[in-house]
Amino acid sequence: MSGDYKFDTLSLHAGHTPDSRHGSRAVPIHQTTSYVFQDTEQAAALFNLEIGGHIYSRISNPTVAVLEQRLAALEGGIGAVATASGMSALYLTVLALCSAGDHIVSSSQMYGANINLFQHTLSRYGITTTFVKPNDPAAFEAAIQPNTKMVFGEVIGNPGMDVLDVPIVGKIANDAGVPLVIDATFNTPWLLKPLDHGANIVIHSLTKWIGGHGIALGGVVIDGGNFDWGQNDRFPTLTEPHFGFQGVNLWEEYGPAAFITRVRTEGMYNVGPCLSPTNAFHLIQGIETLGLRMERHMSNTAKMLDFLSNHEGISWVKHPLLPDHPDHEVAKRLMPKGAGSIIACGIKGGRDAGRAFIENVQVASHLANVGDAKTLVIHPGSTTHSHITPDAMEAAGLTDDLLRISVGLEDFDDIAADFKNALRVADKIAGAAK
């Protein structure tokens, strides 16, 4: 669809027109592994990348293609590849850009699995990473080396909610001849389109806000088409003959789309973390209401911040919307409609109080996910980090009293009543422990 259409229109229509054969208005689920070729000539052309089309659903699928086109339209990218999870999207991005001996500069405050991938998994294959604080642009600049192939960060860091100044870091990376890769899961394109602010590649875990209902895993890599891969000799995976496909030079053949073509022709062909058509269908349904849901997420988050900040059972609250957050001004500048629906707060009474709170919520759900339509809560000290000491928790940036709240879409009065009751019980537990 034309780029002239607004967000809510694109979220409903981009990448799809009503089925011409049957008249289906909804996107059909093409539950098939493979596709019949017209003849041997067409088959050869498909395999040689001479024409577009579908060969095998590990590589591409019509239902998945609608999802890819819709997400590319919402982010302002030139192309996208959907994957089985957000982690696989990140891995395929690294695979397309990096080889043994290469280097990555990354934010240090981000999702733990991202850190593990860079620090442990990739290092086994000779790809090293330098971690820097997300709110220290000078550190990003100092860390870039001649063999650096990407700079990586999250717009809103998970779980610390640090905010990356995308325009500044993007300029630093691009001035050094390196692309900025952004994990935009926590903001969604409704709050911020990183490609409009200096980023070159965007990754999402579609499992979270974009899907929005906790029913389907998925990820996506979106190519901004705004990076000159041929400006230097850093990217032989894109500017030298492809090991397959008749030795094609992707940069010469596909220009701005060289990167996303590599993701599909190597990542999906040889690694194959494909998204199922059924999960793609579920995720498309989520996208169609993304704008409406994000409005409610932001409204309820503002109310929750007020509630927590004024509750005697809560000792501290952290969110970029609050003036005392160190990245408050950056968040206001980049995300004027809101800074996400994740809140961290400290419950008085520490681990015992946190456990009591979790065990007494009724409306909120206790589980390890974020971005659901339903309000979600977790207390790391009594769950994911219950086996480590408070000192070790603090070193990891997760204090013993920390609650993580993913604010949902319920009537806020019901969420508030639920939290009041659970905090009342927690306060009794904490008082008895004194």
pLDDT of residue 386: 61
Domains belonging to the chain, first-starting first, are 7-287 (3.40.640.10), 291-433 (3.90.1150.10)
> Is pLDDT at 394 greater than 70 in this prediction?
no
The pLDDT score that the predictor gives to residue 385 is 57
pLDDT above 80: residue 395? no
Least-confidence region, from 25-39, 46-60, 63-77, 209-223: 46-60
CB 381 within 8 A of CB 351: yes
Which residue is associated with the tokens 């009342």? Answer: 424
CA pair distance 276, 293, nearest whole angstrom:
24
DSSP 287-337: HHTHHHHHHHHHHHHHHHHHHHHT-TTEEEEE-TTSTTSTTHHHHHHH-TT
Is the predicted pLDDT of residue 321 greater than 90, yes or no? yes
Q: How far apart are CA 7 and CA 130, in angstroms?
A: 36
pTM > 0.85: yes
Mean residue pLDDT across the chain: 93
Q: What is the pLDDT of residues 322-354, one digit of tens each?
A: 999 999 999 999 999 999 999 999 999 988 899
Other C-beta atoms lying within 10 Å of the C-beta of residue 31 = 12
Closest CA to 398 of 381, 423, 378: 381
pLDDT tens per residue across span 23-51: 899 999 999 999 999 999 999 999 888 88
240-269 confidence digits (pLDDT tens) = 998 777 788 999 999 999 999 999 999 999
What confidence score (pLDDT) does residue 397 get?
63
**Contacts with 117 (C-beta within 8 Å, 6 or more apart), sequence order:** 87, 90, 91, 94
- Residues 191 and 294: beta-carbon distance below 8 Å: yes
Least confident residue range of 22-26, 161-165, 206-210, 394-398: 394-398
